[in-house]
Structure 1
Amino acid sequence: MRRGVFALAVWIGTTLPTADARGEVVGRVYLMRGIANVFSYGLDDLADRLGGAGIAAEVHPFGTWPELARAAVAWSRGHDGAPVAVIGHSLGADAALRMAARMTELGVPPSLVITFDPVGTGMVEEAQGRFVNYFQSDNGYGRPLVDGPGFRGKIENHDLSGAPGLDHFNLEKSPDLHAAVLDTLLATLPARPVAAVPLPPVKPRNPHFSRRSLRDTARGRNPPASAGPSASAQAGPMVWGQIRQTRGFE
C-alpha cells in the first residue's frame, strides 16, 4: 500500500450498512490504552462510536490483558462462540498481541486484532486470526507486524508515514481511522437479521353484506335471503347515508 495521505484516505470512501440496517451486531470488542493509562484516550472516543453503531466495546489498561483474555474466552463460550475483537494503542497494541496469543492458547482465538503503533518487536506468535496494524515507520515508535513461530492468520500493515497531523501520540484519535476501524468491524462481526414486524390480521369480510344488499335495504327492498333478518335490520338508512357520502350512490 502507498504511504502518506493516500494510505490514510483509502478506507474512507467505502460505506457499509449501519447496525440498524444489518440488525444487532454480534460480538464484543476489548480496547487497551497505552502507558500509565493516561494516554490513548482516543480509544474511549472510538469505543463510544462503536457503541453508537450497536457494537459492545469496553476500554481497559494494557496491563489487564491476562484477565481480559480469560474474560473474553468465557464470554464467547457463554454466547455460542460469538466473535471477539481486540484493539490497542502503543503498549496497549503490544498487549493486544499477547492477549490474542493467550486466547488462542485457551481455544478461542480473536476474530480480529487492530493495533495502533505497536512499540515492541511487532512479532505475532502462537496466534491466529486477522491482524490489522496502523503505524508510522518514521515516528520513532511504531513497528510493522511480522509473523512469528506458530502464527496462523493474516497480517495487514498500513504505514501512515507522512500523513499530516498524525504522530504516535494522536494516531488512535484520528476520526478517519475510527471510521476505518468501524467499517472493518461491521464487515467482520456478524449481525442478527432485523426481525420482521408482523402485519395486523385482516378482518374477514361479512358475507351477509354487499353493496347491492345495502342499496336494496336502504330503498326498502327485501335483502337477499343469505343476509338474514338481523343483517337487514342493522343496515338501515344511516348506513346507506354513509355509503352515499363515500361512494357517490344515489
Structure 2
Amino acid sequence: MTPYGCTIGTDATLSSAARRLRAVLFSLPLMLTFLAGPVAAAPQNPASTTHVYLLRGVLNIFSLGLDDIAAKLQAQGIPATVANFVSWSSLANDAAEGYRSGQIKTIVLVGHSSGATALPDMVAKLSQLGVPVKLVIGLDSVFRTRLAGSAEHYINFYVASGAGEPVTRTADFRGKLDNVDVGGSGVGHLTIDKNLMMQQKVIAAIDAVVFGRQRTPVARSQSAIGVMRLGARTGGSD
C-alpha cells in the first residue's frame, strides 16, 4: 500500500506542475507577440487617398461632362467632388484639411470653362496653405490666366479657334505647364468636357499619377483617334 503521506505529496506535486503549465500556456501568446514585434499596417490603397476636385462653369449646366468623369473615377475607387467654380476657395480649405489629417495624400484639380479659369487661384491658395498639388487639368479656360504657386503638372486643354485661352506662368510658378490645343476636330467649348476621347485623356492622366499607369481605352472611334493625334502642344515648359 502506498503510505497516506506519500499520496498527499504526489497530488501536491501534480497540482503545482499543472499550475506552472497553465501559466506557461497563458503567457505564450504574449511572448509570441513580443518576439514578433509590431504588426505592420496594411498599405493604403493609392486610390482611396487621392481626391479629385472638379469645378463646373457658370450655372452648373454647361459642364455636366465633369459629372461623367467623376462617376468613372469613383468606379475606380477614386473619391471625387464636383462643384461650381465659385466654391474653389472652400474646396481648397477642404483639401488642405484632408491633407493635414492624412486622409488625402494626392490632390488633383479639374475644371471646365470658368471652372478652368478658377484653377490657378485654387493652386495659389493651396500653395499658400503648404499643400502640394499633384495634377491640374483645365478644359478650355475662357479668360487669360497666370499661374503662380506650385503644381507638379498643369495641363491646359483649350480650343485655340474658339473661346479657349492658353495659361501663362509667372516667375513664381514651380512645376510643369503644358498648353495643348485640341481644336480643329469637332471639339468645342461646350463639348470638350463631354467628348469621350477628352474624358479618356483626363482619366488616363489621373490614373497615371494615382496608379502609375494609364488605362487603355477599350474602343476608339475614328473621330476620337483624330482628337488623340492632335496634341498640338504649345507653351510647354518645365
TM-score tier by shorter-chain length is 0.5 to 0.7
- Counterpart of 1:41 in structure 2 is 64
**Alpha-carbon distance in 1 for matches of 2:192, 2:210:** 24
- Counterpart of 1:120 in structure 2 is 143
**Cα distance change, pair 176–36 in 1 and its aligned pair in 2 (3 A):** same
Determine if the alignment matches structure 1 residue 181 to structure 2 residue 202: yes
Q: Secondary structure at the match of 2:80?
A: strand
Q: Deviations over 1:136-184 (max 9, x none)?
A: 1001x101122113101101111012012x1101111111111111111
Q: Deviations over 1:62-88 (max 9, x none)?
A: 001110011001111212660100100
* Structure 2: 5+ residue stretches without partners: 1-44, 213-238
Percent identity among equivalent residues? Answer: 33
Normalized per residue, the structure richer in strand is 2
Per-residue deviation at 1:91? Answer: 0.5
Q: Which has the larger radius of gyration?
A: 1
Determine if the alignment matches structure 1 residue 111 to structure 2 residue 134: yes
- Which aligned segments of 4 or more residues in structure 1 are displaced greater than 4 angstroms? 22-25
- Counterpart of 1:168 in structure 2 is 189
Per-residue deviation at 1:129? Answer: 2.2
- 2:52 counterpart (29, 41, 64): 29
Q: Deviations over 1:166-205 (max 9, x none)?
A: 11011111111111111111111258xxxxxxxxxxxxxx
**Alpha-carbon distance in 2 for matches of 1:82, 1:106:** 15
**Alpha-carbon distance in 1 for matches of 2:181, 2:72:** 24
Determine if the alignment matches structure 1 residue 71 to structure 2 residue 94: yes
**Alpha-carbon distance in 1 for matches of 2:53, 2:138:** 12
Count of residues in Structure 1 that have an aligned counterpart in Structure 2: 168
- 1:88 counterpart (111, 114, 131): 111
**Alpha-carbon distance in 2 for matches of 1:28, 1:144:** 25
State the superposition RMSD in angstroms: 1.7
Q: Secondary structure at the match of 1:48?
A: helix
* Structure 1: 5+ residue stretches without partners: 1-21, 192-250
Q: Secondary structure at the match of 2:193?
A: helix
Per-residue deviation at 1:109? Answer: 2.5
Q: Is the 8 A contact 1:25 1:190 kept in 2?
A: no
Per-residue deviation at 1:128? Answer: 3.0
User: 2:188 corresponds to which letter in structure 1?
Assistant: D
**Alpha-carbon distance in 2 for matches of 1:190, 1:169:** 30
**TM score, norm. by length of structure 1:** 0.64
Q: Is the 8 A contact 2:46 2:211 kept in 1?
A: no
- 1:157 counterpart (173, 179, 184): 179
**Alpha-carbon distance in 1 for matches of 2:86, 2:55:** 8
**Cα distance change, pair 60–23 in 1 and its aligned pair in 2 (3 A):** closer
**TM score, norm. by length of structure 2:** 0.67
**Alpha-carbon distance in 1 for matches of 2:177, 2:70:** 23
Q: Secondary structure at the match of 1:172?
A: coil
